[in-house]
């Protein structure tokens, strides 16, 4: 568990590229706006969506970490009980 005073790994590079969008973490820092502007310049055809990421950081990840692939269908697992 995180303790009061522990540092968080806040990084703008942990953004997510989606269909027509870029989801970029925000931290309540003056650099947030600069990160949005930089990504808008790099991805001019995509909508930039800023998301406050502090609560995600507390869990040890960031935007890209929580947007990983999900199975397209239910996978049946064999019963391995003895």
Please tell me which residue in 17, 42, 65, 66 is annotated as part of the active site.
65
Q: Are strands 21-26 and 47-52 parallel, antiparallel or unpaired?
A: parallel
Positions of E strands within 1-82: 16-18, 21-26, 47-52
Chain length of the chain:
82
Structural Rg of the chain based on CA atoms: 17
Is 24 an annotated catalytic residue? no
Q: Which residues are catalytically annotated? A: 65
């Amino acid at each position: 568990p995180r303790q009061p005073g522990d540092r968080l790994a806040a990084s703008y590079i942990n953004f997510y590229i989606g269909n027509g969008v870029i989801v970029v973490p925000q931290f309540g820092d003056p650099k947030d706006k600069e990160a949005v502007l930089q990504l808008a310049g790099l991805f001019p055809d995509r909508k930039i969506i800023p998301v406050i990421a502090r609560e995600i950081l507390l869990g040890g990840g960031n935007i890209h970490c929580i947007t990983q692939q999900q199975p397209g269908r239910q996978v049946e697992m064999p019963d391995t009980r003895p």
